[in-house]
Amino acid sequence: MNTLEFERIPALPPRARDGHKGTFGTVLVVGGCAHAPRHMLGGAMLAARGALRAGAGRAIAAVPAPLAAEALAILPEATVVALPTDASGELIASAAAEAIDGALLEASAVVVGPALGRSTAAGQVVLRLASLGEKPLVIDADAIRLFASHPEAARDLRGTAVFTPHPGEARELADALALDIDCVERATRPAAALALAQRLGSVVALKGAGTVTSDGLRVWRCDRGNAALATGGSGDVLGGVVAAMFAQFGRDATLSPGALAALAVEIHARAGDLWRDMHGDAGALAHEIADLVPDAMRAMRTT
């Protein structure tokens, strides 16, 4: 599979000088987990932060109600939607779906999965969003494993979807899709991303050193990035950046969904390189990567 040819990473479009919040779109992040054994929120808020830092006009974080106040404290720039839960903190799927539907009316693109947990109700939320196909959907983190745990889910996948698995999550997707591919070795990952994208009918950004993005026809490889990006929450930031590209530039006919995802990967990697240049290749915090995204984008627009 070394004969695969890689597409060039697209240029970052200019930002409209007369734009407003609506011009640059709204990213909805569905994530967070408020029940045992793991209470999690950081991933969802890192995705929202990544979306705002990448230029989205607004970010909405839809998180379990017990975590709503904390979500606002972490990122006051976001709007928070409280998802109903039962007494244990687990999502009530039907009520959560109703709340998410209201937020979808405002959203330009959606991220589902960061810190979501793997409850039955969370799985129902993921599968419903995947089957709606109303807005570009980034399926990340726990949402990937929830999707993979339902082998028939790929048949119901609608609209534009971007999967952002690390090699372990990609392996679970491959198993669910009965694909015999190597998602780990750098030499075989381009073919693996291509095969996953073809079987899913979606975009796949297979993360790792030299992240590979494919839409099933074309393949992009990011040759930037470094070991500083190997830190918890870095992938959540990437999910937000991907959604922000769709929110801002999804109507640009010259940029396909695969190209938009590859562009987001490039931006994220460049932010990681900026951090390394200042601090070295270890010790990065994910929110620091997010906060360097504007600098990475500025450099891309001026070179």
Burial 279-290 (b: 16+ CB within 10 A, else e): eeeeebebbbbb
For 229-259, write each residue's pLDDT tens digit: 999 999 999 999 999 999 999 999 999 999 9
In a domain, 13, yes or no: no
Q: Which two tokens stand for residue 42?
A: 């950081």
pLDDT tens digit string along 3-37? 789 999 999 999 988 888 889 999 999 999 999 99
Q: Would residue 18 count as lying in a domain? A: no
Q: Is 106 exposed, middle or buried (0-12, 13-18, 19+ CB in 10 A)?
A: middle
In a domain, 182, yes or no: yes
Please report whether residue 258 resides in a domain: yes
Domain span at 124? 26-302
67-96 pLDDT, tens per residue? 999 999 999 999 999 999 999 999 999 999
pLDDT in tens, 122-169: 999 999 999 999 999 999 999 999 999 997 899 999 999 999 999 999
pTM above 0.95, yes or no: yes
Structure tokens at 186: 């750098």
Bridge partner list, 40: 33
The length of the chain in residues reads 303
4, part of any domain? no
Q: Report whether 24 contacts 247 (CB < 8 A).
A: yes
Find where tokens 């909805």 sit.
28
Q: Which two tokens stand for residue 173?
A: 């997707």
Alpha carbon distance 49, 186 (integer Å): 30
**What is the pLDDT at residue 167?**
96
Secondary structure of the chain in HEC code, one letter for each residue: CCCCCCECCCCCCCCCCCCCCCCCCEEEEECCEEECCEEECHHHHHHHHHHHHCCCCEEEEEEEHHHHHHHHHHCCCCEEEEECECCCCCECHHHHHHHHHHHHCCCCEEEECCCCCCCHHHHHHHHHHHHHCCCCEEECCHHHHHHHCCCCHHHHCCCCEEECCCHHHHHHHHHHCCCCCCCCCCCCHHHHHHHHHHHHCCEEEECCCCCEEECCCCEEECCCCCHHHCCCCHHHHHHHHHHHHHHHHCCCCCCCHHHHHHHHHHHHHHHHHHHHHHHCCCCCCHHHHHHHHHHHHHHHHHC
Count: domains in the chain: 1
* CATH code of residue 119: 3.40.1190.20
Domain annotation covers residue 19:
no
Identify which of 57, 70, 143 has the alpha carbon closest to the alpha carbon of residue 100. 143
Check: CB of residue 58 under 8 Å from CB of residue 27: yes
- 5, part of any domain: no
Is the residue at 10 inside a domain?
no
| Cα(242)–Cα(293) distance, integer angstroms | 12
